[in-house]
Structure 1
Amino acid sequence: MTALLLVVLTLVAVGGTVVALTGDPRRQAVTLSVYGLLLTVLFFVLQAPDVALSQLAVGSAVVPLMVLLSLRVVAGRRR
């Protein structure tokens, strides 16, 4: 394995841990977006640009926005 791949794998492992240990759902959505970017870099390093583009669109943008939208809807229903 190359040094770049080891660094990216370490960052992905740390990022996943941070997402799992974040308690506040809003902060977790932000850390999930950063984790999606880390996965995008990992897929790009592994020479899978099609998967990286999909991850960039879905994991870094769509899923965190859906989480924030659902939190907003749930908070609106509680009021």
Structure 2
Amino acid sequence: MLSLLTILVSLGILVSGVLAVALRNVLAAAVSAGLASLSASVIYILLAAPDVAMAEAAIGSGLATFILLYTIHKTGAGKA
């Protein structure tokens, strides 16, 4: 059961990563990249590495996505 859940979440990471690259909307691509990072933190929880999962969730999913969204807002790139 654990390996099936790990495979499903890994597929979610792959789909989110492909969407982050393929989407033309910068805002949607940034959110998709954050979702991929959040899914990676779920994988770390499933693999019994809670310290790595907390770091990934805080830095990868939280801080990096916030900085991307802030930059998109300041440059106005999300409006085009």
Given the two structures, how large is their TM-score scaled by the length of structure 2? 0.79
- State the secondary structure of the residue aligned to 1:2: helix
Q: Which runs of 4+ in 1 moved over 6 A?
A: none
TM-score normalised by length of structure 1? 0.80
Query: Cα offset for 1:52?
Result: 0.5
For the residues of structure 1 that align with 2:14 and 2:67, how far apart are their CA atoms? Answer: 24
How many aligned residue pairs are there?
A: 75
- Residue of structure 2 equivalent to 1:6: 7
Structure 1 vs Structure 2 CA RMSD: 1.6
Q: What does residue 50 of structure 1 align with?
A: 51
- Determine if the alignment matches structure 1 residue 67 to structure 2 residue 68: yes
The alpha-carbon deviation at position 73 of structure 1 amounts to: 2.8
Cα separation, 1, equivalents of 2:19 and 2:52: 23
